[in-house]
Amino acid sequence: MYLRRWGSKNRQCVQERMKEGVKMSEKWLIGTEWSIPSEFGREKRISANIAKLSGTSSLFGDRLDDMITTVTEACLNALEHGNKLDGRLQVRVRVQVSDSRTVYRIFDCGSGFDYAQWEEKRLAAMVAGNKLQEDNPRGWGLKLILSLADRVRFGSEAGAFYTEIEFGYDK
């Protein structure tokens, strides 16, 4: 369960997380949001923003390439499948950085898929088993995201579908 609140004294975002019955506070060092129109090629702006953000934080370490790859792939999925390449619709990327992890949430205007029934292992086996046999072996996106990220979740918020990608790193 995630609860978000703003600290009253210095207005820094603090997230309280319930984990194994223990309340922990996590201070977000960076929190920002970007958006792009749903057109191929626009995802490069998000990649550039992630690279630029890494210059403000030495925390990413050797995870930067994984972050750029997975978030870019999630943006491509969102603009192509979620927003159907409708340039009037936006793909939004929210990023939060703490001293132990970075969380990206990629939003689109589509209905998503039945993520409640989604099984990571089944999807990974299906993609790996079938994609090499196809004439047009597209559709590696989720498998790629799963193989590079530490945690992937799907959900809906305020009428938008999202893919959440998390990366942890050593302090």
* Phi, psi (degrees; rounded to nearest 5) at 20: 50, 40
* Domain parsing of the chain, residue ranges: 29-168
What local confidence, expressed as pLDDT, does residue 114 receive? 77
Is residue 55 pLDDT above 60, yes or no? yes
d(CA 26, CA 48): 27
Average pLDDT over residues 74-90: 96
* pTM more than 0.75: yes
Is residue 39 pLDDT above 70, yes or no? yes
Q: What is the pLDDT of residues 14-35, one digit of tens each?
A: 333 333 344 457 889 889 999 9
N-to-C CA span, the chain: 24
The CATH number that domain 29-168 falls under is: 3.30.565.10
* Phi, psi (degrees; rounded to nearest 5) at 23: -85, 125
Highest mean pLDDT among 19-23, 113-117, 135-139: 113-117
What local confidence, expressed as pLDDT, does residue 22 receive? 40
Range list of H helices, the chain = 43-56, 64-77, 120-130, 141-148
d(CA 19, CA 56): 29
Q: Taking a C-beta distance cutoff of 8 angstroms, is the pair 48, 33 a contact?
A: no
Q: Taking a C-beta distance cutoff of 8 angstroms, is the pair 27, 21 a contact?
A: no
Is residue 167 pLDDT above 70, yes or no? yes
- Lowest mean pLDDT of 19-28, 58-67, 144-153, name the range: 19-28
Please give the angle made by the CA atoms of 100, 141 and 42, to the nearest 5 degrees. Answer: 85
- Cβ neighbours of 37 (radius 10 Å): 16
